[in-house]
Amino acid sequence: MKTKYISFRVSNIEKKAITIAAKETGLNTSEFARRAALNMKVTLRFSPEEMEIYKNLHVFHRNFKAISNLVKSDYFRKNDTILLELEEMIKQIKTHLEKFEQ
């Protein structure tokens, strides 16, 4: 009988990946996490490489957004070409992240 409780923090992407992987294996997230933590065999939907790519994409999105905000600030003269390119890149990255999060 399970009577103890453990909790841990994850990013939105990690939570979604865990939820999807658990669903694909027919397990609830608690059982899935328990088996993974105890080194029991668990089949994942996303390979470690794919997860790393999406984590990096998330970081890139955040960084490009920060750069865009910096370019918009009073510290820099506005350069519309750079700003438009940054905003386009941010939109493209966000689109890919949204596909993953659905």
pLDDT digits (tens, 9 = 90+) for 75-94: 666 666 777 777 888 888 88
101 Cβ contact list (under 8 Å, min separation 6): 12, 13, 16
Number of structural domains found in the chain: 2
Name the residue among 63, 68, 95 with its Cα closest to residue 84: 68
User: 61, 93 in Cβ contact below 8 A?
Assistant: yes
Q: Return the pLDDT at 29.
A: 92
Q: Return the pLDDT at 75.
A: 64
pTM of the model: 0.41
Please report which residue ranges of the chain form alpha helices under DSSP H.
Answer: 12-25, 29-37, 48-72, 80-101
The count of other CB atoms within 10 Å of the CB of residue 61 is 18
User: Do 38 and 58 belong together in one domain?
Assistant: no
User: Do 99 and 51 belong together in one domain?
Assistant: yes
Coil, strand or helix: which one is 42? coil
Q: Return the pLDDT at 45.
A: 60
Give Cα separations from 53 to 2, 61, 63, 97 (angstroms): 36, 12, 15, 11
pLDDT digits (tens, 9 = 90+) for 12-55: 988 988 898 888 787 899 989 999 888 887 765 667 777 788 88
User: Do 17 and 28 belong together in one domain?
Assistant: yes
| Structural domain boundaries enclosing 16 | 8-45
User: Do 72 and 82 belong together in one domain?
Assistant: yes
User: Do 67 and 26 belong together in one domain?
Assistant: no
